[in-house]
Amino acid sequence: MKKNCIILGLLITSILQAQQLTTNTGTPVGDNQNSKTVGNNGPVLLEDIHLIEKLAAFDRERIPERVVHARGAGAMGEFVADADFSEVTSADFLSKAGKKTPVTVRFSTVVHQQGSPESYRDPRGFAVKFYTEQGNYDLVGNNLPVFFIRDAIKFPDMVHAFKPSPVTNGASDANRVFDFFANVPEGTHMLTWLFSDYGIPANYREMNGNGVHAFKWVNDKGEVTYVKYKWISKQGERNLTQEEADKIQSTQTEHATLDLYKAIQDKNFPKWDLYVQMLKKEDFDALDFNPVDVTKVWPESIAKSVKVGTMTLNQNPANYFQEVEQAAFSPGSLVPGIEPSEDKLLQGRLFSYFDTQRHRLGGNFQQIPVNASKNNVLTYNQNGYMSVRPQTGDVNYQPSASKPQVVDNKKFKYSQTILPSGTTITQGKIDKENNFKQAGELYRSFSKKDQDNLIKNLGNTLNSVRDKKTVAKMISYFYQADADYGKRLAAFVKMDRNELESLINAK
């Protein structure tokens, strides 16, 4: 009996010790409720190290939110390849059927700040980090298949137009938004998507995803195939009307985040199938649009979708800040066998995404566990804030006679691109802009109900724009996409043909 009591006492002591509160340096804390003072009623002493550390940590526990995609939710799981794709890409995680790769996923709204309602009309981010055996690969996309602009030089201006006015600091203002897009006709296709019911997904589980950009798949022979990615939700795709979204917003701001968390908690694990479309460079000239133009989709008639694998999300984050807020994605996180295309917007994102993470999280953000590679990392990049990767030895440079780790391996080199003879460095618009055709095809593909909702959503927003010349220019874009589309919008905002022409031609 006495022996049992001793064992029980030791067990209790062990449990209490395991739960002992400590400082950041591991020192046990004796009192976490009362500051150290001069007497019971005297002033607090600066020498109360625990108090100072606790307050200092609290003062710094917020980091800058993302400029875009600030409001997000995340989860972890795995991706399973459907087949061996080594004929078209040397990417190791696609090298055999059944190969499993861990993933972290972050869904988000784009324009609005942290804590904003998830029922706003807004594109949704769909970012997947694959922890492959050859490093991390980030597939960073949206729920909608195209984008507003095709050149990264316009991106800061576009985001500024969507963000609150620097004067009023109010919510997104249609006057500012359409003042911008009345001068950016390439946005017509994306605006048609956004103001349809696709602009408000019901939640993150019942939402498709798109890589949006074209990328290059490269095989071991250096042969290049251009691809576009699409995630298809196995839960089905469901969107909200404006009225349904307004109803949700009246009682909840985080319905999509909680829906995802609860589904995984209840072991109703959401799944998506990944598809790619493929094109060869020699097929580009026959098309009436530029295939690396991010404002365009690839019709199935020219590039059939091929299933690549299935992703299952089966684990909620244990700590949102560490595993979701600190998760850093970039289209520049690539692996051998996958390279960026010549897409102008993508080329800018290759810099911008890494740069914003260095600003938010520090120069060593890739050492944070959620961002860290699962395979061995050997680099002579060193030091800086929060460097925790082991660094040993005297040689921290390459080449070196004592450490010849880097070998000339053709397998890991970038593919070669042969430019046309006489190519010049230039600054101008792309060939074959074709800004309106696909927007019209999208409009005609909608059911009558979807067309009606699009006209209502877009018409109501245009009615709130003060500058009627801006409204007229926008309607002219939608008319060029489809005559019925433009006529219905003109009727909705009560503009006849003469007024439209007069406003558009006015100087």
State which amino acid sits at residue 38: V
Per-residue pLDDT tens digits for 423-479: 777 778 889 999 999 999 999 999 999 999 999 999 999 999 999 999 999 999 999
Give me the residue label for tokens 């089905």.
236
Q: How far is CA 310 from the centre of its chain?
A: 19
Give me the residue label for tokens 């307004």.
246
Residues 329 and 442 in one domain: no
Residue 258 lies in a domain: yes
Position 411 pLDDT exceeds 80? no
Position 14 pLDDT exceeds 60? no
Mean pLDDT throughout 283-299? 96
Determine whether 409 is exposed, middle or buried from the number of CB atoms within 10 Å of its CB (0-12, 13-18, 19+). Answer: exposed
CA–CA distance, 297 with 192 (Å, rounded to integer)? 13
Tally of domains in the chain: 2
Give me the residue label for tokens 């970039």.
330
Residues 349 and 446 in one domain: no
Per-residue pLDDT tens digits for 37-74: 998 888 888 888 888 888 888 888 888 999 999 999 99
Considering the candidates 50, 69, 112, 213, report the single residue annotated as catalytic.
69
What is the β-pairing status of strands 135-142 and 271-279? unpaired
Look at residues 335, 381, 341, 369 and name the one whose alpha carbon lies nearest to residue 135. 335
Residues 149 and 255 in one domain: yes
Q: Which structure tokens are listed for 120? A: 């706003």
State which amino acid sits at residue 484: D
Residue 108, SS3? strand
Residues 168 and 307 in one domain: yes
Mean pLDDT throughout 98-124? 95
Residue 467 lies in a domain: yes
Position 228 pLDDT exceeds 80? yes
Expressed as residue numbers, the domain containing 170 is 72-193+200-367
State which amino acid sits at residue 447: S
- 416 backbone dihedrals φ, ψ, rounded to 5°: -95, 135
Considering the candidates 112, 136, 142, 435, report the single residue annotated as catalytic.
142
Residues 360 and 485 in one domain: no
Q: Which of these ranges, 127-141, 255-269, 284-298, 379-393, has the smallest mean pLDDT?
A: 379-393
Residue 209, SS3? strand
Residue 226 lies in a domain: yes
Per-residue pLDDT tens digits for 142-164: 999 999 999 999 999 999 999 99
Residue 27 lies in a domain: no
Name the pLDDT band for 189 (thresholds 50, 70, 90).
Answer: very high
Q: Which of these ranges, 77-86, 363-372, 384-393, has the smallest mean pLDDT?
A: 384-393
Residues 152 and 290 in one domain: yes
Q: How far is CA 368 from the centre of its chain?
A: 19
* pTM metric for this prediction: 0.89
Position 403 pLDDT exceeds 70? no
Residues 83 and 166 in one domain: yes
The domain boundary, picked from 329, 347, 367, lies at 367
Name the pLDDT band for 16 (thresholds 50, 70, 90).
Answer: very low
Residues 137 and 262 in one domain: yes
The domain boundary, picked from 332, 367, 402, lies at 367
Q: 204 with 73: CB under 8 angstroms?
A: yes
Q: What is residue 9's predicted lDDT score, i.e. its pLDDT?
A: 54
Per-residue pLDDT tens digits for 303-362: 999 999 999 999 999 999 999 999 999 999 999 999 999 999 999 999 999 999 999 999
Q: Which structure tokens are listed for 106? A: 């972050």
Residues 114 and 240 in one domain: yes
CB proximity list for 135: less than 8 A, separation 6 or greater: 333, 335, 373, 375
Q: What is residue 8's predicted lDDT score, i.e. its pLDDT?
A: 55
Position 184 pLDDT exceeds 90? yes
Residue 400 lies in a domain: no
Q: 69 with 110: CB under 8 angstroms?
A: yes
Which residues pair with residue 310 across a beta bridge?
Answer: 80, 273
CA–CA distance, 278 with 92 (Å, rounded to integer)? 19
Looking at per-residue pLDDT, the higher value among 471 and 5 belongs to 471
Mean pLDDT throughout 221-225? 94
Q: How far is CA 279 from the centre of its chain?
A: 24
Residue 291 lies in a domain: yes
For the annotated binding site for heme, the residues are 353
Mean pLDDT throughout 94-114? 96
CA–CA distance, 124 with 104 (Å, rounded to integer)? 16
The domain boundary, picked from 367, 385, 403, lies at 367
Q: What is residue 24's predicted lDDT score, i.e. its pLDDT?
A: 86
Residue 344 lies in a domain: yes
Name the pLDDT band for 405 (thresholds 50, 70, 90).
Answer: low
DSSP string over 302-328: TS-EEEEEEEEEEE--SSHIIIIIT--
Determine whether 105 is exposed, middle or buried from the number of CB atoms within 10 Å of its CB (0-12, 13-18, 19+). Answer: buried
Q: 443 with 457: CB under 8 angstroms?
A: no
Residues 353 and 257 in one domain: yes
The rounded radius of gyration (Å) of the Cα atoms in the chain is 27
- Tell me, what DSSP letter sits at residue 239? B
Residues 347 and 493 in one domain: no
Q: What is residue 506's predicted lDDT score, i.e. its pLDDT?
A: 87
Mean pLDDT of the chain, nearest integer: 91
Cα distances (Å, whole numbers) of residue 223 to 48, 96, 278, 400: 65, 19, 13, 33
Q: What is residue 3's predicted lDDT score, i.e. its pLDDT?
A: 55
Residue 462 lies in a domain: yes
The domain that holds 213 is classified in CATH as 2.40.180.10
Indicate if 316 belongs to the active site: no
Residues 120 and 250 in one domain: yes
Indicate if 142 belongs to the active site: yes
Mean pLDDT throughout 67-91? 96
Burial 272-301 (b: 16+ CB within 10 A, else e): bbbbbbbbebeeeeebebbbbbbbbbbeee
Name the pLDDT band for 270 (thresholds 50, 70, 90).
Answer: very high
Name the pLDDT band for 200 (thresholds 50, 70, 90).
Answer: very high
